[in-house]
Structures are given as C-alpha cells and as structure tokens.
Amino acid sequence: MRKLASCLALAVWLAHTPAWAADLPSSLASATATMQGAYTFLHENPELGKKEFKAHDYLLDALKGLGFTQFVTSAKAPTAVIAVLDSGQAGPVIALRAEMDARPLEVGAVEPASHAPRSHIDGLMHNCGHDIHASILLGTAAVLIANKDRISGKIVFLFQPAEETPGGADDIVHEKILDDLGVQAIFAEHVAPGLPIGTVAIAPGYTLAGSNYFHLRIKGKGSHAAAPNEGTDTPLVAARMAIELSDYPARHLEIANRPVVISVTRLLADGNAGNVLPADAELSGTIRSFENIFKSENATPSLKERLDQLVARMATEAAVDTEWTVRPGAPPTRNDVALFDRAVTPLGQAWPGMLDTHPGRGMFSEDFSYYTEALPALYFSIGVSKDGRGLASVHTGEFDAHPDVFAQGLRLMTSLAVIGTTGRMDWR
Ligand SMILES: [Zn+2]
Ligand SMILES: [Zn+2]
C-alpha cells in the first residue's frame, strides 16, 4: 500500500529533528494532514504546464484556509500561486519554490495500477515529483503561518507552473515578480530517486547543466536507391552528421573540465519507398553544458560557433545545403557560493551525517536556473529511496517516492525558512 501515514511521518520528522525544533507546536500534525490531502489531489489530477487550473484552485483555497491573505498574480503564468507571509518582524525576504505541472507518459502508457494515489487521467502522470514538492511547500506554509512569531522578514511561497514546458520560471523572472517583492534569496528542492530517505544533497556552484536545442534541415539531391552516385545520398549524410555531432564533445573539447553532451533525438529521412533516396533529411536534438554555448571565452570560438563550422564543413563535403539553428533553453543551475557557505553549517547540524555536499552532477537541466541567474539561490536534492521504494527514475511511469519524503521535505523547507530569515538554525 502506498499511503502517506501521517503519524509515522510525524514520528520520523521528530526522530530526526534537532533541539531547535523540539518545541515545534502541534501545527506539524495538521501540516502532515495538509500535505497528505494535497498530494492525493494533485497526484490524482495531473495537469500539463500552464494548464494547472485545478492545482491553482486547490492550492489557492488551501492557502486562504490557512489564513494567507496576500497573493501576487502572474500575467504570463496565470496558474502560478504566489503567497506572501509577513512575519511582522524586520528581516530578509526569501522565496521557497515548488513546481505544479505533470508530464505526458509514453503513447498508450498509464500509471501502474499498484500506485496509490494514482493518476485519474490516462497518459498523464506526476512522474517528476512536482506534486510532492507542491504538497511539501503547502505543508511548510501551514507550519510557518502558525509559527510566524518565531521567524523574521517575509517568506514568499512560489508555486510555479510549467517547469517541464517553456515559460514557467522564465516568465516569473521576466515579469520581475520576485524583484517587486524584494526577494533576496530563493530555495527549492527536487526529489532524487536512488538517494536514501533522510539524505539531502547540495554542492556550491554549477549543479545542473543548461539546455540548448538544435535543428538541422539538409537539402540535397534525391536519386534512385540503386544509383546513390547520382544524388547526395542525403540519409547517409544525415546519419554521418548525427555521429559527428554526438562525438564532437569527447573528441574536440577538454571534456574533463568542460562537460558537454550532444544528443540527436530525432532523425528523419523518408524516401517513401524502398528504392528511393530522398533529397531532404532533418535531425534535431539537445546540447547540455555548464557553459553558455553562445559565448566565446578567451578569444576562442564559442561552442555554437564550433558546431556551426562543423555543420558547414560537412555540408560542403557532401554537396548539400543546410539550415542549422540552435536555440537556448534553460541556462545552467548555479548554487550561490556565499549562500551555500552560510547555510551549510546549520543544515549540517540539522542533518548530521546525512548532508551530502559532494553529490555527483548530471547533465539534466531545470528551469529553476532562471532564478539562479537572477538572485542568490540554492537547489537541493532530497532522497526518496527506502525499503525498495523510490528507485525508479523521474519521467518514467514507475516513478514513486517513499512517503517519508514528506516529513523530510517539510523539515528541509522549514529549516531553510528559518535559516534564510534569521541566519540561524533555531526558532527565535
Ligand atoms: Zn522533470
Ligand atoms: Zn522535476
């Protein structure tokens, strides 16, 4: 049975809680119920980016029910729910962010029948844990509004749409919503399959890659398949380009110090018959890196310029025309070093032996990066694995998390709120 056991979750929370939180009032129990209710609703009602209408209404109503009265709307991302908690005490303004959107499953796939709660919509599922993050943030809001006399400054609870699709964090940043609220630092967490429950991982500096997307259209000369010498054999040219692009980082960059992954995700050449070599082909894919691929460093060509040259050279050799475009996606995610230095000691006290400050990096990207470009930010990974649960990767139908993650997430986010607004890991 996959059930959020509220009593168990609370017991786990308290068992791992340092002295500073031992006198936390009974609001924890109601926060656990709040998280349980939100998670069930959000998981059963997955919605795609910018269409999180049910999630918007649920979260807004829940926050109002908790006593929140100050909300900010986003014109570009209207399903966002942004609530402000003013402690009434002078102090910093910080933001805690969670995502709201779900994802489409592979065509014809549904969430496994053993999952409970389970998606009510075939083909759609919360398989990146955003329902978990949003539920934990709501639970955090419940705890903090009940204890606002113990914190300083203001806390902005940012429920952000469309992490999986364009225009979530970047809309919020471009609208200057956080600037207008005077936010000085922002924090977020993401579930990490395979990381044991109770572990929190964070490293200073670049922690997730930036993403860029390319599209290459090849225009050559078609021919009978029996006479490739009479045309450009465009499918073969496309295949060679796919290999050269994919091979490029490991063979042309100092890869140990300059990690780059280029993956061709779509390769299309259709002669529409077994004996026709088509004139045209297309390929597209992604470039992941911790650098800005459009920017040249130390008077050397940028990665984009180097790839431009590669494509042009191969096109000339193959006597084909090309249209080659590269567009930027999310920038790399960077944890602010000074903020990390300030937070790591008190967090180490709250997570004795379980705070991993040297986690492995991945070439995944995340739109939290837009905030990290705009203001000091920290992005945490939180373990979801226990008793054989929480091992399946995000973005798969099998993804799940051990229910203890809610108590751990609540502990992390409340800790960050206290550290962020008071600079200490104790209630005032
Ligand atoms: Zn995702
Ligand atoms: Zn995600």
Say which CATH number the domain at 225 has: 3.30.70.360
- Cα 99 to middle of ligand 1, angstroms: 10
- 59 and 128 both lie in a single domain: yes
Does any domain span residue 427? no
Cα dihedral 176, 56, 78, 420 in deg (nearest 10):
0
| 240/161 same-domain check | no
Of the listed ligands, the closest to the CA of 165 is: 1
Q: Is 412 in contact with 380 (CB distance < 8 Å)?
A: yes
Structure confidence at residue 177 (pLDDT): 98
Asked whether residue 370 is domain-assigned, the answer is yes
* In a domain? residue 338: yes
Predicted pLDDT at 360: 87
336 and 312 belong to one structural domain: no
CATH of the domain at 176: 3.40.630.10
Asked if the structure places residue 428 within a domain, the reply is no
User: Using alpha carbons only, how large is the chain's radius of gyration in Å?
Assistant: 24
258/403 same-domain check: no
State how many domains the chain has. 2
257 shares a domain with 285: yes
Cα(24) to ligand 1 centroid in Å equals: 33
List, in sequence order, every beta strand (DSSP E) within 290-387. Answer: 321-328, 333-335, 355-356, 377-385
**DSSP state, residue 386:** B
Amino acid at 114: S
CB 402 within 8 A of CB 386: yes
The CA 111 to ligand 1 mean position distance, Å, reads 16
Q: Are residues 300 and 319 in the same domain?
A: yes
DSSP H/E element including 201: strand 200-201
- CA separation for the pair 155, 151 (Å, rounded): 9
Token pair 């040259």 is at which residue?
A: 309
pLDDT digits (tens), the chain, 428 positions: 333 333 333 334 444 444 435 445 556 778 999 999 999 999 999 999 999 999 999 999 999 999 999 999 999 999 999 999 999 999 999 999 999 999 999 888 889 999 999 999 999 999 999 999 999 999 999 999 998 888 889 999 999 999 999 899 999 999 999 999 999 999 999 999 999 999 999 999 999 999 999 999 999 999 999 999 999 999 999 999 999 999 999 999 999 999 999 999 999 999 999 999 999 999 999 999 999 999 998 888 999 999 999 999 999 999 999 999 999 999 999 999 999 998 888 888 877 778 999 998 889 999 999 999 999 999 999 999 999 999 999 999 999 999 999 999 998 999 899 888 886 655 43
Per-residue CA distances from 11 to 132, 136, 211, 423 (Å): 19, 16, 41, 27
Range of the domain at 13: 6-208+332-422
Q: Are residues 56 and 201 in the same domain?
A: yes
pLDDT at position 11 is 39
Distance 128 CA to ligand 2 centre (A): 4
Supply the DSSP string of 119-145, one letter for each residue. Answer: -SSTTEE--SSHHHHHHHHHHHHHHHH
**Owner of token pair 């920290």:** 378
Task: Classify residue 252: in a domain, yes or no.
Answer: yes
Of the three residues 303, 328, 353, the one that is the final residue of a domain is: 328
Q: Which ligand is nearest to the CA of 189?
A: 2
Residues 173 and 268 in one domain: no
How many Å lie between the centroid of ligand 1 and the Cα of residue 64? Answer: 28
Does residue 304 share a domain with residue 192?
Answer: no
Domain boundary among 294, 312, 328: 328
List the one residue out of 249, 396, 254, 382 whose CA is nearest residue 310.
Answer: 249
- Calculate the dihedral angle through the C-alpha atoms of 125, 129, 135, 137, rounding to the nearest 10 degrees: -140
| 319 class by beta-carbon count within 10 Å (0-12 exposed, 13-18 middle, 19+ buried) | exposed
Burial 345-372 (b: 16+ CB within 10 A, else e): ebbeebbeebbbeebeeebebbbbbbbb
Do 27 and 120 sit in the same domain of this protein? yes
Whether 1 maps to a domain, the answer reads no
At which of 328, 354, 369 does a domain end?
A: 328
Q: How many CA atoms lie within 13 A of 193 on its CB side?
A: 16
Return the residue matching tokens 């890991």.
Answer: 425
- CA 220–ligand 1 middle distance (angstroms): 37
Query: Looking at this protein, which amino acid is placed at residue 59?
Result: L
Q: How remote is the CA of residue 60 from the centroid of ligand 2, in Å? A: 21
Q: Find the 130 Cα to ligand 2 centroid distance in Å.
A: 6
Both 200 and 130 in one domain: the answer is: yes
Can the peptide bond before residue 117 be classed as cis, meaning omega within 30 degrees of 0? yes
Return the pLDDT at 3: 37
Residues 190 and 214 in one domain: no
Q: How far is the CA of 137 from the centre of ligand 2 (A)?
A: 15
